[in-house]
Amino acid sequence: MGLVSLLKNKKRTTLFTTPSHCGNFFILHKFYQWYKSDISETDTYNPTEELEAAEKKAASIYGTKFTKFLTNGSTSGIIAAILASEAKNILIWKDSHPCHKNGAKLAGCNIIEYSLPINREWGVYEAITPNMVKDLLNNHPADSIVITSPTYEGFAANIKDISQICRSRGIKLIVDEAHGALYPFSSDLPESAVKYADYTVQSLHKTAGGLNPTALLHSNDNNPAEALSMINTTSPSYPLLATIEKNINFLNSGQGKEKIKELIENIKALNFHQGGDDITKILIKKEGISGYELSKILFDKYKIEDERTNEISTMLLTGIGTNKTMLLKLKKALEGIYNEK
Ligand SMILES: Cc1ncc(COP(=O)(O)O)c(C=O)c1O
């Protein structure tokens, strides 16, 4: 029985349990179904059969040893991965998402910071390369490294080679793939780290159609359940867990893969400016104006909201929910902006 069926078939009893709304919808009518499904059944350290089965199925889909469903974002996955890896001296990118350093602090690790070069054409960070990893490992006494791939703007690292370098030296590799949750399901996108890294974290809610803040922690090393139990609530949201199961099954289905293909083909056909390795992150810029000015014009004049801006360019994030109409609107707006003197 899947998680959604479990919720549907759950017998309605008089609840003297948490959560105390007892499935009643007195706060917000819109969330009636959510309240009905909001049960207190399990925690991630002591999963019900259904959750365990759903996570096992997910692991077989991704080809990992363990895949854990996260209802507190990639943030919790990164922290748990650092705890589970038992790192002592850990290499962390200086400008990484704050959860990297927070995880290392919570784990009591010695943090060794590293820098990444800036891509001058777009004003964004480049991805780390295998040679950079080799140099870092030659020069620092680390036992773990956390890398971000892809970067926010879609620059992806050669994870396969980096994982080989790390494995040959007994270094644990943790990959923040928060922005790459579609990668395992498309050969047109950069290769995912899930099969190669010791730990990979992906946000389903960023690009893969998931609800905030659903995410995944994949491990080919230790079972991260105990580490997750140290930082997570013992009352995870069951409706969110159920959406994670459905989300993965959808991504892995013919329909899901077709949807990703359609997104990529639509972006290719409209011939947007492209910066990094991931076509779904549309990087744009205009000669003579800053990324911030471009972003403001998009918002004020065309009511288009971008994701992340720097001095030179701005990035529009697309995902499984981005349809052709939206892309055509963006294309038209850009034509207007580029044609303005
Ligand atoms: C690179 C990167 N890693 C991790 C995170 C944390 O992800 P979440 O919001 O799923 O906790 C973010 C969030 O923006 C991010 O950009």
pLDDT for residue 46? 56
| Separation between Cα atoms, residue 99 and residue 312, nearest integer Å | 27
Residue 157, pLDDT > 80, answer: yes
pLDDT for residue 290? 97
CATH number (3.90.1150.10, 3.90.1150.150, 3.40.50.2300, 1.20.1250.20) of 255-339 reads: 3.90.1150.150
Q: What is the DSSP string of 89-118?
A: EEEEETTS-HHHHHHHHHTTPEEEEE---E
Instruction: Compute the distance from residue 21 Cα to the ligand 1 centre, in Å.
Output: 31
211: closest CA among 306, 319, 293, 77? Answer: 319
Instruction: Examine domains 46-252 and 255-339 and report if their fold is the same.
Output: no
pLDDT for residue 37? 78
pLDDT for residue 274? 76
Residue-wise pLDDT for 91-142, tens only, equals 999 999 999 999 999 999 999 999 999 999 999 999 999 999 999 999 999 9
Candidate of 72, 74, 179 to mutate for ligand 1, largest count of ligand atoms within 8 Å of Cβ: 74
Instruction: Compute the distance from residue 308 Cα to the ligand 1 centre, in Å.
Output: 13
173 bridge partner residues: 145
Candidate of 76, 95, 97 to mutate for ligand 1, largest count of ligand atoms within 8 Å of Cβ: 97
pLDDT for residue 253? 96
| Separation between Cα atoms, residue 300 and residue 283, nearest integer Å | 19
Candidate of 95, 203, 232 to mutate for ligand 1, largest count of ligand atoms within 8 Å of Cβ: 203
Average pLDDT, the chain: 92
Instruction: Compute the distance from residue 57 Cα to the ligand 1 centre, in Å.
Output: 25
Residue-wise pLDDT for 197-220, tens only, equals 999 999 999 999 999 999 999 999
pLDDT for residue 288? 95
| Separation between Cα atoms, residue 308 and residue 292, nearest integer Å | 9
238 pLDDT tier (thresholds 50, 70, 90): confident
Instruction: Compute the distance from residue 339 Cα to the ligand 1 centre, in Å.
Output: 35
Atom of ligand 1 nearest to the CA of 70: 10
Q: Which residues line ligand 1 (CB under 6 A)?
A: 73-75, 97, 99, 148, 152, 176, 178-179, 203, 213, 215
> Which residue ranges make up each domain of the chain?
46-252, 255-339
Q: Give the residue-averaged pLDDT of 164-171.
A: 98
* CATH 3.40.640.10 is the classification of domain 46-252: yes
CA 245 to chain centre: 15
Instruction: Compute the distance from residue 244 Cα to the ligand 1 centre, in Å.
Output: 17
- Integer-rounded Cα radius of gyration of the chain: 21
Instruction: Compute the distance from residue 62 Cα to the ligand 1 centre, in Å.
Output: 20
Residue-wise pLDDT for 70-90, tens only, equals 999 999 999 999 999 999 999
| Separation between Cα atoms, residue 312 and residue 293, nearest integer Å | 10
Residue-wise pLDDT for 6-52, tens only, equals 877 776 666 666 555 556 655 556 677 777 778 776 544 555 788 99
Residue-wise pLDDT for 282-329, tens only, equals 999 999 999 999 999 999 999 999 999 999 999 999 999 899 999 999
Q: What percent of the chain has pLDDT over 90?
A: 79
**Are 146 and 140 in contact, with CB atoms under 8 Å apart?**
no
Instruction: Compute the distance from residue 132 Cα to the ligand 1 centre, in Å.
Output: 23
Q: Give the residue-averaged pLDDT of 51-59.
A: 95
**Are 226 and 43 in contact, with CB atoms under 8 Å apart?**
no
CA angle at residue 230 from 35 to 31, to 5 degrees?
Answer: 10
Q: Give the residue-averaged pLDDT of 235-262.
A: 93
Q: Give the residue-averaged pLDDT of 169-178.
A: 98
Atom of ligand 1 nearest to the CA of 148: 1
Q: What percent of the chain has pLDDT over 70?
A: 91
In the chain, which residue ranges form alpha helices assigned H by DSSP? Answer: 3-9, 32-37, 49-62, 73-84, 98-106, 130-139, 159-168, 204-207, 225-231, 238-252, 254-270, 291-302, 324-339
pLDDT for residue 36? 77
89 to 1, 21, 56, 141: CA distances (angstroms): 43, 45, 31, 7
